[in-house]
A and B are shown apart, each in its own frame.
Chain A
Amino acid sequence: MSDKKKILLADDDVDYLFQTKLHLKQAGYEVIQAESQREAEEVLQSVKPDLAIYDLMMETEDSGFILCYKTRQKYPDVPIIIATAVASETGVSFGLNTEEEQRWIKADLYLEKGIRKEQLHKEIDKLLNS
């Protein structure tokens, strides 16, 4: 039995998937990758990850939210990160800007996709150890 923590990583950007998977593996995590919301849902059927990282826009514009919701239902204790390139700085609200909206969308953390990998590791660590 490996004691590596399992991370489910869902993103339809194959490059992001490749790079992030590489970083996470180097940091000592086991990574299960999914290229779509559908694939991620299939994984969730049989595997309970220790943490999940979801892209927001995959098949649909809110795929990430749907995955969050479904993950919460099945595994209420699995922390979830939404990683997105959707910019909040454009001033265009897309549903994460107010505290209220952050409450009804059940992710633990929102990360901009451009963040440095050290920061990503730190955030994951925090969530896994909380």
Chain B
Amino acid sequence: MLVVDDEPGICSGVQRILQRFTVSYPFMDEDRGFKIHEAYTGEDAIDFIKQSPPDIVLLDNKLPGIQGTEVLEYINKNNRDIIVMIITSYASLELAVKATDQGAYDFIPKPFTPQELKSAMENVTKNIFLRSMTKRLNKEGKEVRFQFLSVLSHELKSPLNAVEGYLQLMQERQAGHDISGYDQVIERSLQRIKGMRTLIMDLLDLTKIQSDEKDKKYEEVNLTETARGAIESINPYAIQKDVTVQLHGEEEVRVYVDPNDMEIVLNNLISNAVKYNYDGGQVDITIGRDEDGVRIQVSDTGIGMKKEDTEKLFQEFVRIKNDQTKNITGSGLGLSIVRKVVDLYGGRIDVDSQPEKGSTFTVFLPIKTYKSETTTL
């Protein structure tokens, strides 16, 4: 730390106060102390900074030669990492406020008590620490967001652990010798296995869409037909939940695509619309087209979600967790896969949702469509 003040008293005072002072912080490996250097003019300060830039500069506003603000300007231009604290008299508080606008971290009014200086230094130290931590994390390419593989193994191991735990519980006859005492345990195990199967299916989808362009099998597909297939496969579940699923739009919307891709999009959107619906709810699917491409719209009357949730919805393994969703199983991959497919075709996916009212997912794909008259099967 460099103290820049023309009053030697201030410099030595700071020395004295901070000599034995250390800052500790829960995330920090060890306590941090201060090594203090002094400069009596702005020119000296800049010379010092040029030679060995400190972490912190405690800068008096009023200096004999160039002013504090000029030193601040120099630091802003050349050593942006340095944290600058302005020392100022109460009379020039306004100036200090201006200095913080110009990039000073904070100011400390003169005269200050040892405690004021210490707490100011504590803040600064924490700030420096967090900055260096962020920098290091970025440098190592480690984002806070964990990498796909580790999350995946987490998602695969959780159900295994759960089922294993239940089996052990049964092995130890924790609920007695009557098998009916284990009904719930068995039910939960089956649920978890089902969830794991969904995840594996989704992973297969993911590898399918990530496969090389040359592995893609493009053919003519009637999207309305694909949607019917998707409705059919979700139908048992829809009946169970008493959800009505209706398909609107033209009988034939023919496009030249990889049929797998369209199945992925429609299956995911339609099954979500049923899954996150209320009992007795409604799902409307509209497949339309214009000269720019096709539009697939899936609306439900389900639980919906908040705006901030829609923003992270398409990330891998993101599931919106709340009381309403906690009993719905899902891999957290479906929509991220849908988005990947949509990206592949240069399209767009949007969501419009209102909590407790429902959600509408709209996929737009800029691909050419055919009418049945113009093509032959």
Contacts and interface: CB of A to CB of B under 8 A. Distances in A.
Contacts, number: 80
Interface in B305-328: 321, 326
A58 B321 CA distance: 8
Interface string B127-164: 00000010000000010111101110110011011101
B26 interface: yes
A69 B26 contact: yes
A35 B150 contact: no
A92 B188 contact: no
Given A59-B321, A72-B26, A85 B158 contact: yes
Contacts of B119: none
Contacts of A100: 29
B26 A106 contact: yes
A128 interface: no
A72 B142 CA distance: 25
Nearest to A76: B26
Contact of A103 (B29, B188, B192): B29
B126 to A, nearest CB: 13
Nearest to B25: A104
B161 A90 contact: no
Tell me the interface secondary structure of chain A in the complex: loop
A16 interface: yes
Tell me the interface secondary structure of chain B in the complex: helix
Contacts of A73: 26
B26 A19 contact: no
Interface in A73-93: 73, 84-87, 90, 92-93
A61 B145 contact: yes
A15 B154 contact: no
B169 A22 contact: yes
Interface in B18-34: 26-29
A87 B26 contact: no
Nearest to A89: B153
Nearest to B323: A35
Contacts of A90: 149-150, 153
A13 B158 CA distance: 8
A94 B150 contact: yes
A94 B146 CA distance: 6
Interface string A97-128: 00010011110000001100000000000000
A86 B154 CA distance: 5
B321 A114 contact: no
Given A69-B26, A85-B154, A92-B150, A114 B161 contact: yes
Contacts of B192: 15
B164 A87 contact: no
B150 A104 contact: no
A98 to B, nearest CB: 11
A86 B162 contact: no
A123 B26 CA distance: 23
B372 interface: no
B153 A87 contact: yes
Contacts of A94: 146-147, 150
A104 B134 CA distance: 13
A85 to B, nearest CB: 4
B147 A36 contact: no
A30 interface: no
A113 B164 CA distance: 11
A47 to B, nearest CB: 21
3 shortest A-B CB distances, which residue pairs?
A15-B162, A19-B165, A87-B153
21 contacts: A12-B326, A13-B162, A15-B162, A16-B161, A16-B165, A19-B165, A35-B326, A36-B321, A61-B151, A72-B26, A73-B26, A87-B150, A87-B157, A90-B150, A92-B146, A92-B147, A92-B149, A94-B146, A104-B133, A106-B27, A113-B161
Interface of A: 12-16, 18-19, 22, 35-36, 57-59, 61-62, 69, 72-73, 84-87, 90, 92-95, 100, 103-106, 113-114
Given A57-B154, A61-B151, A86-B146, 7 more contacts: A12-B326, A15-B162, A15-B192, A92-B149, A100-B29, A104-B27, A113-B157
